[in-house]
Amino acid sequence: MLTRRKGEVALIIAALAFSINGIFSKLVLEAGLSPFRLAEIRSTGAFFSFFIYLLIFNRKALRFEWKALPEMLIYGIIGYAGVQAFYFVAITRMPVSVGLIIEFTAAIWITLWIRFVRKEFVPKSMWIAVFLAISGLALIAQVWKGLIFNTWGVIAAFLDAFALTAYFLLGEKWGKRASTETLMFYGFGISMLFWWLILP
């Protein structure tokens, strides 16, 4: 039963991890650490943790197609550095829950990309889900009262959503060529180097 439901179990664990991460990140940011420095620390910690793990359990995942480096640079900078930084900026200026809700409008932008850019079929149920997601976002944001949240926080949250959209779309493409472990290892590695250059 658990084997058949491992996708759902992973999703629940990921949701809990996002919640816990949001709470602790908010506390750290309120203590005075900048969003960009926190993104740098997180990328660095994740990269070295993955490196040790893969070195012990899955060295094959360390292999990389160097000819694909330009694409991977985009994936790492937007999908890892960008997602983290915009998210941290957003939650410094608004509640974590609202920042996460806006971030996960990525599902809406992915659907629109698939339908209008890729020109692929999108089932009716997906459009209903998009409508419900937008309606829920409007209710939580209380749009009838005007913009009640910090403007820059909202902008950062939507930039985060667009970066997350790119992360998923690029990850879908790369997932056919490399393992999840490889993508995460090099994604965090590129993000780490990016922040080291920006914030030595």
**Using one digit for the tens of pLDDT, what is the confidence trace for 50-98?**
999 999 999 998 988 888 888 899 999 999 999 999 999 999 998 887 7
Residue 88 amino acid letter:
F
Instruction: State both tokens at 27.
Output: 């506390």
Whole-structure pTM over 0.75, yes or no?
yes
Question: Which two structure tokens, joined as six digits, stand for 65?
Answer: 């197609």
Which one-letter amino acid corresponds to residue 150? N
Spell out the residues 6+ positions from residue 72 whose beta carbon is closer than 8 angstroms to its own.
64, 174, 186, 187, 190
142 pLDDT above the threshold of 80: no
| Torsion sign, CA atoms 114, 116, 119, 123 | positive
Dihedral of alpha carbons 87, 91, 93, 94, sign: positive
